[in-house]
Amino acid sequence: MINLSNKVALITGASRGIGRAIALKLAQQGAKIVINYQGNAAAAQEVVEAIKANGGEAIAVQADVRDDKAAQALIKATLDAFGRIDILVNNAGITRDTLLAIMKTEDWDLVLDTNLKGTFHVTRAAIRPMMKQRNGRIINITSPAGISGNPGQTNYSAAKAGVIGFTRAVAREIGSRGITVNAVSPGYILTDLTASLPKEIVDRIIEMSALKRHGSAADVAHAVAFLASDEAGWITGQVLSVDGGLVL
C-alpha cells in the first residue's frame, strides 16, 4: 500500500473533478493536503471537511495560478501551514473550445495562461523549497489533446503539449536534487469539465478507446498517488496515459 504519511501535497484546481479526487486519494494515503481553488470557496471547503472527517489534515487556499504573485503566496501559505512541500500536482485547467478560424485571442490567452503559464508559476515557486529538501514529486496533468491534437481545441492542445515539454525539461533540470517530474494524461473522464460535451463526441471518444468506456476521476487519482510515492522514485520525465487505450 502506498504510504504518504508525513508528506505535504498541494493540488491546484482541487475543489472539484479530478483535482478533488486526487486530494482525497493522497489524503487517504496519509498526506497533509492543500486544496487550491480559484473561485469556488464552498466546494474547496467541502473537500477539506471530507478529508478531516476521515482523520486527515487539510486547508484550502485561494489563488489564481495565472498570477505569479498569487502562485508564490500559495507556496508560502503551504509552508506556513505545514512547514514543507513534498508533492505538487498541477491540475488547474480550463477549456475554451472553438475552431481556430473563429477563436478569439482572449480565449487563446486564457487557456494558455491557466493551463501552461499557471503550471510554470506554481512549479517555479515550489521547486525552491523542494531543492532545499533535496526531495520532491511534481505531477502535471496533461491530456491526449497535447499528444495527438484535437480539432476545435488548438488552444488546449497547444497548452497541454507545452505541459509535456515543460515536464521533461524540468525533470532534466532538477533531477539531481532528488525531485521527480512526471505527467499524467487522462482520457475521457466524467467531470464537470466534460459534462457539456455533445453525446456524439463522447460516443466517438469511447469507441476510439481500447477499453470502450469512460474513466473516473479515481482512475486518475490512483496513477497520481503512485507517481507521488517512494515506489516511483526512479521514474521521471514520463507521461503516463490513463485513457483506456485512447492514444496508442
C-alpha 71/C-alpha 123 separation (Å) is 9
pLDDT beyond 90 at 1: no
Could you tell me which residues are beta bridge partners of residue 183? 140, 239
- Residues designated catalytic: 156
The mean pLDDT value for 215-231 works out to 97
Mean pLDDT, to the nearest integer, of 194-200? 74
Query: What's the CA gap between 49 and 35, in Å, rounded?
Result: 11
pLDDT at 54 over 80: yes
**Predicted local distance difference test score (pLDDT) of residue 118:** 98
Q: Given pLDDT bands bounded at 50, 70 and 90, which one contains residue 190?
A: confident
152 vs 190, more confident: 152
The average confidence (pLDDT) of the chain is 96
